[in-house]
Structure 1
Amino acid sequence: MSLPFIMVLAMGVLFACGIYLMLERSLTRVLLGFILLGNAVNLLIVLTAGRGRPPLTDGKNLSTEGMSDPLPQALVLTAIVITFAVTAFLLAMIYRSWRLVRADSLQDDAADLQVAITKMIDSEAEASTDYDDTEFGDEAESPIRGAIDLDDDGTPAQREAAADRTEEKRSSDERGTEEKGERP
């Protein structure tokens, strides 16, 4: 087995262990998983850089042919700093959690679960209704109760009553003109 193959195998093991630990409910295991994942990413960047010789010259031959690319090394250095910063943040969270609750694992909150279930049921109910909603809430096929009437033409019942009054007035006007002998 060659050295790059062993490094690829080690990188795969680090990725697998890191993801497994990050899926746990214990904050300490999440921290360890994040550290393993950061190291696996560093190995990935180093392996993708490939081989090369150091960027040193003898002063006579100044060509850069065959030299290592410094960009992957800079990326690894940056990744180390970012991993360190997030590790410090996670350590502070673990310390604060331990001081407040005296527990390292996260527990589900009953109120949060109830809200999540209610939202899921509401979203399923909204998705199952098949109606044409408009910006004018009272003119939709199935209007939302309590929606603001944006067009100021009244509720559907008020509009129906106004239409009935207009029809009664029109029919009474027609009867009045017939009694006088006039044609409309």
Structure 2
Amino acid sequence: MTINLTMAVVLAVLYSVGFYLLMQRSLMRILLGIVILGHGSNLLLQTAGGPPGRAPMLGSAQPEQMTDPLPQAMALTAIVITFALTTFLLALAYRSWTLLGHDEVRDDLEDRRIQRLERRLAESEEDGAEELEKEATQ
């Protein structure tokens, strides 16, 4: 099985744009990133399924002429999962908009605490390195 170069480029662009949007702060951009990643996943599954062929029913064609039904079933499952995640994120964005007036995701308090701790550790390491340099020069 070979893949078309155009399809590989389209898949790379879809995944790149999807992950870029997923890393943004706005819930609507995150939602668009999830939708684009879902489309990329569906395209990847259909591309991996190979070229089109006959319906996979016994007695209608030779087995080597039939298409593989597994990628199609997985694509349908991916569509359902993307739809469910899209509706959930739409509900979150609407709730955030009604309560806060914006859909921006704020930093978690635990993240801020960890950042302060890392800064303190880095400063103490710098102070320790300066003391070692002073001792070495004396």
1:87-125 C-alpha deviation (Å, 9 max, x unpaired): 11111110111011001212335x545422455479x6x
| Match of residue 107 from structure 2 | 108
Structure with bigger gyration radius: 1
Structure 2 residue aligned with 1:28: 28
Q: Rate the CA distance shift 1:8–1:102 in 2: closer, same or farther, 3 A.
A: same
**Distance apart, 1:8 and its partner CA:** 2.1
- Size of the alignment, in residue pairs? 120
Residues 156-171 of structure 1 aligned to structure 2 (within 5 Å):
none
Aligned positions of 1:1-184 closer than 5 A: 4-55=4-55, 62-108=61-107, 111-117=109-115, 120=118
SS at match of 1:11: helix
- Stretches of structure 1 that go unaligned for 5 or more consecutive residues are 129-184
Higher helix share: 2
Q: Which has the higher contact order (CA 8 A, sep 6+)?
A: 2
Change (3 A) 1:83 1:56: closer
TM-score (norm 2): 0.74
CA distances 1:43-99 after superposition (whole Å, capped 9, x unpaired): 111111111412177x6x643222100000000000000000011111111011101
AA of the residue aligned to 1:29: R
SS of alignment partner, residue 53 of structure 1:
coil
Q: CA deviation at 1:5?
A: 2.6
Structure 2 portions without partners, runs of 5+: 126-138
What is the Cα-based RMSD across aligned positions, in Å?
Answer: 2.7
Distance change (3 Å), C-alpha of 1:114 and 1:41: closer
| Identical amino acids, percent of aligned pairs | 42
The two structures have a TM-score, normalised by structure 1, of 0.57
Q: Are the counterparts in 2 of residues 55 and 64 from structure 1 also a CA contact under 8 Å?
A: no
- 8 Å CA contact 2:54–2:61 kept in 1: the answer is no
Shift of 1:10: 1.5
Alpha-carbon distance in structure 2 between the residues aligned to 1:56 and 1:47: 17
